[in-house]
Amino acid sequence: MALSERIDRNVDLTHFEGKIPVSYVYTYGLGLEKFFRAIKDKGEFLASKCPECGTTYFPCRIFCERCFSEISDTYKVPGTGRVESFTVCHLNMDGTKKETPQVVGLIRMDGAEDATFVHLLDISPSRASIGMRVKPVLKPKKEREGSILDIISFKP
Ligand SMILES: [Zn+2]
């Protein structure tokens, strides 16, 4: 079947295998740019609080997702938190088995208690527990690129 062929019956549809080159630029937006720039440049974590309803956000936001008010200020939080939940990953994205299982945690962030953050926990599955205190581990400053991967993991 040629690409220009007209398809009159959907049961005749098939697929084509190949690669399509796609170039794109991903932008974080104003709120997340502040967040990742603070981590990259200063190793600091920024949260924000809605001036109308008081909801806290981590990472920081520029508008409230609950009441849609504008949020113009950010504040520094320690980046520490408490594990609310966790799961253990045994498979890679391609379905192959991981050499070592990885623990991914849902972390309630100190100073922005309305917010949770999901990230790798640097701990063996048998030691992970709900309620455990964790702190972030960042890449060395010269290796940071302004992305989520600048946070290597959270550890007890
Ligand atoms: Zn609000």
Residue 115 class from Cβ within 10 Å (0-12 exposed, 13-18 middle, 19+ buried)? buried
Distance 107 CA to ligand 1 centre (A): 22
Look up the pTM and report it.
Answer: 0.80
Span from the CA of 49 to the centroid of ligand 1 (angstroms):
8
Q: How far apart are CA 99 and CA 91, in angstroms?
A: 9
Q: How far apart are CA 120 and CA 105, in angstroms?
A: 6
CA pair distance 48, 57, nearest whole angstrom: 5
CATH number for the segment(s) 21-155: 2.40.50.140
Q: From ligand 1's centre to the CA of 64, what distance in Å? A: 5
The whole-angstrom separation of Cα 89 and Cα 100 is 9
CB count, 10 Å around CB of 66? 13
* Residues with Cβ–ion distance below 5 A, ligand 1: 50, 52-53, 55, 64, 66-67, 69
- pLDDT string in tens for the chain (156-residue length): 455 667 778 777 677 788 889 898 888 888 899 999 999 999 999 999 999 999 999 999 999 999 999 999 999 999 999 999 999 999 998 999 999 999 999 999 999 998 899 999 999 999 999 999 999 999 999 999 999 999 999 999
What's the CA-to-centroid distance between 56 and ligand 1, angstroms?
Answer: 9
93/105 Cα distance (integer angstroms): 18
Domain segments of the chain as ranges: 21-155
Helix (H) or strand (E) holding 103, with range, is: strand 97-109
